[in-house]
Structure 1
């Protein structure tokens, strides 16, 4: 009987290992809006759902760093579901207070942009597997608007 149980465990683990999982790609980060409270950036994540049914995203966790310092971090609970057999674009809003931007003055003054590193974690609740997190990371530059852009 123990050989049968062991064979069943191996079979199930092999099937779960070979099962397709969602794939994600961080496509970009851009300036969304500027207000009295701070600056809001928008991260776009393209997620491919290989399943024939929609897949709920449990949460999106994020950490935005610049010059080795954490600018903002947090979680976006329940951002929605992924469409079946399609790519879905998730927009993750990152609100940065103005006080943090002041601490980045040296980087901004050099080239009027913010060098960043964004780390995202997309967490799904997959049937049979359980919670599954896709880690994403992207480095780049966010160009700041000039007075010419505002008028």
Structure 2
């Protein structure tokens, strides 16, 4: 009877140790709880401002834009995408397409941002259409909610 009881005790202990080991493994593999939520990804918001033109009226002297929010994602590039057109026809002003960009060199800041470019108006064209853009880390591009047109 004693041998049977010893075997039973050993099996019971082995069962308890196996259960304890399995519980420890399960607890150590469980994902850790992070009490801090991940920060919201806020992208910059901007507005296209009126460009200034040379006194002769045949060149863009400065492009202007205003950031109403810089967001919390790094701005890698920003500026104005523009098109010289025969008239004020609406075109899809996006960067990387058919239209040139005027890239700003200074670091972006809240409020007005202005850069000098002196871009001459091409002959045969009678309109300039432009809007602000910002490319953020990861490659996403944000555009101003407005675009401006100038007939000359």
TM-score by length of 1: 0.49
Q: Which has the higher helix share?
A: 1
User: Larger % of strand: which?
Assistant: 1
TM-score by length of 2: 0.48
Q: Which has the larger radius of gyration?
A: 2
If asked which structure has higher relative contact order (CA below 8 Å, sep 6+), I would say 2
